Every structure is written in C-alpha cells, then in structure tokens.
Structure 1
Amino acid sequence: MYIEQAYKGFHEGWRYVVGIMIIFLGWQVVGMLPLVGTLIVKSIGTGSMPGDITGMSALLGTNLFLFLMLLSFAFGLLATLLTAKLVHRQKIIHLTTSRKKVDWKRISFAFFLWAIISIVMVGADIVFSPEDYIFNFKLEPFLYLLVIGALLIPVQTSCEEYLMRGYLMQGIGIMVKNRWLPLLITSLIFGLLHLGNPEVEKLGYGIMVYYIGTGLFLGILTLMDEGLELSLGFHAANNLTTALLVTADWTAFQTDSLYRDISQPELGWDVFIPVLVIYPTLLYIFSKKYGWKNWKERLLGNIHIEKSIN
C-alpha cells in the first residue's frame, strides 16, 4: 500500500516538521533567489520592482520569467527528494510508488491521454468561439517556450506531486492512521497554494472549486493506483498543454503560446465541468485499465502499522 511506504524510512513526527522547513527554504527562499535577483537588476533605473505576474513578465520577457519561475520548483523538488533521502532515510522509489520500480508506462499513458483530450477541447473551443482567440504564434519565442516547457514544466509538476501526494500524503497518513484525512488535507493545501494566482483575482474564490477538485482527483489517482505515476503524467500534460496552447493576460502562465485568449474572464460552467464530469470519467477509464478494486478500503480505510525496515 502506498501510504505505508513511509514506514520503510524513519517517520517520527519531528522529522516531518524539519522536512517541511527544509523544503520551504529550498523552494521558496533559495529557489526564488535567481528570479528576485534578476528582477532587482532589471529594475535598476526604473524606480520600482513589479510584484505581480503580469508586471514581472513584462519586465523580464515571458520566456525568461517563465524559466526563472519554474527554476524555483527544481530547487523545491531537489529539497523534497533530499529530505526523504537524508532526513527520513527513505528510498525515492518508496516515495514514488508501492511497486518495485517506477511504472513509466503509467506515466506515459496518463500524459498522452490528458494531452490529447486537452488539445481536442482547446481546438474545439477555438473553432466554435473564434472571436475569443487571436493567433499568437511567433516561431523563435515559441521554440524557446517549447524547450523551457519540455524541460522544466515536468519538474514543476513533479515537485508539487512529490510534495503533496507523496511526502505530505504519506506523512499525514501514518500520523492519523487513515487515508481519507490526508486525501482531504492535501487537496485543500493544493488548492490554497493557488490562492495567489491571477485567476483567483479575476474569477473570484469560486475558482477554488477547480483547484481543490483537481487536488482531490490527483489524490484519488495516487491512492487507488498505489503510486504517483498517473498523477505525475496527468499533471505534466495539463500544465504543458496549457503553457503551449493558450495564454491570457490574467493567467498564471503568461507565455508565447500558439493562441491568446482575449475573452472577458468569467466564472462559468467550464470551471466546474472538469471536476463534475471529466475527472470522474477519467477515474472510470483508469479504473478499467488498471483493474482498481476495493475503492472504500483504498480511499477511506485505516493505515496498517508496519515496523520500519531501518
């Protein structure tokens, strides 16, 4: 069982407190230094330094800002993996999956399934609502975006998955001795981490249904499949297709994408359909492909205490 993999390392409560501090420092302090330093240098002579995504992107250029912003997640991922390895003496494989080795076919299946669905949905919206989009393709900036996105967006999403559905899911799970509470807590934390996104300011707190619902979906994937592979693939596909296909002046990803959304932002059913329709459909597809059973036990059951192998 996935959460029980935490017992294969040192798992005292104080280690998780120390671990969270290390991860925070690595991600939000050390990881942000390149971005903050570049902003300071670029701001010399202007008299002010922008504090919002739109302003920072305008000052640095979309690709440089994206690179520096995503670079912080590389530090966050490294801090998370080193914390598991050094503080908990836990093998990375045990933080990743309950299987004997990482199932790359699962990662690939989830990635390409969601990438294809995303491309089809965006394409359909462009066809049926052409007035909401302008063609934004510029070869050189797009090629830079493609390289940055392909290299660093999977790092960004892996950082979030290893922290949320990995480190915190396992840690909270073995502390409370059940599965449903870490599922809910990590979903809420995942949603709250997006409170600073420009989408929240434009669309209101109703958009949090999407963020928390996405966290819940990724958590269910992890618990039902006993590993991070499906959530790693899905999350990478989601963010990469978003960055490459469509951008807007009011989104967290402001990139040199193929299209620019010029519609008036509003909270509509398109925000809730993924949570209410698409995610349940995907869970059904995954459950049939991988033969998921015992839903109640895997999502709501108790944690079986195991003696640490260390």
Structure 2
Amino acid sequence: MYIKQAFKSLHEWWRYLVGFLIIFIASQIGSIPLLIAVMFKVMSNGGNIESIQDPNVMMTVLDSNLTLFLMLLSFAIGLLAIYLVVKYLHRQTFVQLTTSRKKTDWGRVFFGFGLITVTTLVVTTLDYYNNPQDYVLQFDLVPFLILAVIAIIMIPLQTSFEEYLFRGYLMQGIGVLAKNKWLPLIITSVVFGALHLANPEVDKFGNIIMVYYIGTGFFLGIMTLMDEGMELALGFHAGNNLITALLVTADWTVFKTNSVFKDISEPSAGFDVIAPVLILYPIFLLIMAWRYKWRDWSGKLFGKVEEPIVLTEEKTSNPTFIE
C-alpha cells in the first residue's frame, strides 16, 4: 500500500520533524528573491518600504510575469528540498514517495491533468457565452507567450511541491507514526486548506472559501489513498492551476496573469463557491473509481497501517518484507 512505502526507508519520527523544518526553511529562502525585487523596485521609484506591507499591494509592484516567476520560485526550491530530504535523510527513492507501483504511471498523471483541463475549458466556455458581460478579452501575444513559458515550467513545480509535501511526505510520515490512514488524511487536508488563508480570495469571499480549499485537500487525499499513489493528484493539481493561470484572471485572485480573459464580475460567496466540493469532486472520484477499478473504500481510507514483518534469512543480507 502507498503509506506502507515509508516502512522501506528510515522512518523515525524525528526524521520527519527535521525534514519538515528543512523543507519549510528552504521554501522561505526561495521567497527572498521576490522580496528583494519588490524592495528594489519600490526604492528605485522613490517609494516607502512600508507601502508594500500589504501582500496584495506587493504583488502589483512588478510586471505580472516576473511576479509569477519569482512567486513560484520558492515552490521550486521547496520541491528540491523535498527530494534531498527524502533521498539523504530517509534513504527513500522518489518513486516510493510517489506511488506504490514499481514506477510512476504517467498515464495516470495525464488523465488527472486532462480531466480537470477539459472540465475547466467547458465550464468557462459555457459561462463566457451565457455571461459575456463578466469577461474582458485581454489577449496580448507577447506577454501571453512569456506567461505560457513561465507557467508551463513553473506551475507544475509549484503544484508538485504541494502534492509531494502534503499527499506524499506528510501523508506517509503521519501514517506510519499514527498507524492508520484517516488521521493523515484529515491533518494533511485541513493544513493544506489552512495555508491558503493568506490568498486574496479569502478576503473577497470570506471564510466560506475555506470549504473549497479544505475540500480540495480531502479530494486530493482521497484520490491518493484510493489509487495507492500520487499520480492522479499530481496531474489534477497541475492542470487546475495551469489552465486557470492561462485562461482567466481577476483582480482578486492569487494568480494575476496576462491570461486570455479577465473576469470583471463581482463574485458572490454563494453556493457556486462550494459547488465543486459538493458536485464536481464526487463526480471526478466516481469517474476515476470506474476507470481504475477502485475497491475497498473503507479499508483504504480508514484502515490500519501495519508495519511489515521483516524476515532476515541466515546468510542473506537482503531482508524480506511480509505484508
């Protein structure tokens, strides 16, 4: 099983604590270039540093493409830190952190990516034709091409960092320590959602948007546990963020980009905010369950995580794991 992969590596509790701290510090170091660039820009224009204490203001000081790149850089450095921590602190292969299969199933990655991409395109197209007054076409070829290059390279790194941290490193770490599956699912989903509290969407919609963020965490966690690997979650998360950055932006989103359209409507904190969690996500899970023949939902989501018995035969240096 996926969480049991951690038993094949060094999995003492202190290693996960040290590893998490290393990953956190590395991601914070990765945010320094953005801060320096903003400070330099403000000071060169004769501004005051105190004027950029508001994160929403800070994100508008630089060109949007440069801001996006520097903002995503911290996630790329954090992903590198996860790789190094897993390899050297836990002596675990990256494949074992990714999946219970012998190798990463890229077909699953692309299926998850395609599922959310097609859905987003269809929903956005229908909304555009039904409510054209809510959109402004702002397509500008050169800025868009620069955005596309940055987004295609950097956004998968950003989403992979979040997936490998929450659905990978912490899911396995908490699972082998708690000896069950429901606790890591709850903790990683709630913390994943809580970390989005600083997003400008929260100011716009209010705390109800946290239902969406935490619900998305549960959705990705359920997907990972049921499929015994992160491939679907990796593809889905990357597709969601990438198509959003390229297709539609708004003044109240965390990604303010040179996308094709700009949403100028006044959003309301109504049912449409939580509709994905209550309607779309269950449909997606049913589609994946049908395609990949998921079984034993109770066992995979709430079952125990038991450490395999290791039998070391005489004159044999390779241990045998008994499930």
TM-score by length of 1: 0.97
Structure with max Cα Rg: 2
AA partner of residue 277 (structure 1): I
Per the alignment, residue 42 of structure 1 pairs with: 41
1:2-25 residue CA offsets vs partner (Å, 9 max, x unmatched)? 000011110101101100110001
Q: Confirm or deny that 1:152 pairs with 2:154.
A: yes
Residue 117 of structure 1 is matched in structure 2 by 119
CA drift of 1:84 comes to 0.8
For 1:51 and 1:129, the matched residues in 2 are separated by: 36
Q: How do 1:128-167 and structure 2 match up within 5 A?
A: 128-167=130-169
Distance across 2 between alignment mates of 1:167 and 1:143: 34
Kept in 2: contact 1:246–1:261 (CA 8 A): yes
Alignment gaps of 5+ in structure 1: none
Matches within 5 A, 1:35-184: 35-44=34-43, 45-48=46-49, 49-184=51-186
* CA distance in 2 between partners of 1:90 and 1:290 (Å): 27
Shift in Å, 1:306: 2.2
The residue number in structure 1 matching 2:18 is: 18
Q: Secondary structure at the match of 2:196?
A: coil
Moved over 6 A (4+): none
Residues 66 and 255 of structure 1 are in contact (CA less than 8 Å); yes or no, is this contact kept in structure 2? yes
Q: Does structure 2 retain, via aligned residues, the 8 Å contact 1:199–1:252?
A: yes
C-alpha distance 142-59 of structure 1, shift in aligned 2 (>3 A): same
The answer to whether the 8 Å contact 1:178/1:302 transfers is yes
CA contact (8 A) 1:169 1:186 kept: yes
The residue aligned with 2:190 is: 188
- 2:313 corresponds in structure 1 to none
**Alignment partners' CA distance in 1, 2:240 and 2:194:** 19
1:80 shift after superposition: 1.0
Match of 1:198 among 173, 197, 200: 200
Look up the equivalent residue of 1:198 and give its one-letter code: P
Over the matched positions of the two proteins, sequence identity in percent amounts to 55
Question: What is the root-mean-square deviation in Å for CA atoms of aligned residues?
Answer: 1.3
Q: Which residue among 265, 286, 289 is the counterpart of 1:287?
A: 289
Report the CA distance between 1:307 and its aligned residue. 5.3
Name the residue aligned to 2:278. Answer: 276
Structure 2: segments with no counterpart, 5+ residues: 311-317
Counterpart in the other structure of 1:8: 8
Equivalent of 2:221, from 207, 219, 222? 219
The structural deviation recorded for 1:36 is 1.2
1:243-291, Cα deviation, whole Å (9 max, x unpaired) = 0111111111110111111111221221111101100001000001001
Moved more, 45-54 or 149-158: 45-54
Partner of 2:314: none
Number of aligned residue pairs: 309
Letter in 1 for 2:57: G
- C-alpha contact 1:54 1:249 (8 A) present in aligned 2: no
Q: Summarize deviations over 1:173-205 as a string: whole Å, max 9, x none.
A: 011111011101100011001000000011100
| TM-score (norm. length: structure 2) | 0.93
Distance 1:6 1:20 in 2: 15
Partners of 1:307 and 1:231 in 2: how far apart? 30
Structure 1 residue aligned with 2:259: 257
Work out the CA distance in 2 between the residues paired with 1:285 and 1:198: 32
Distance in 2 separating the partners of 1:248 and 1:99 = 40
Counterpart-to-counterpart distance in 2, 1:2 and 1:108:
20
Higher relative contact order (CA 8 A, sep 6+): 1
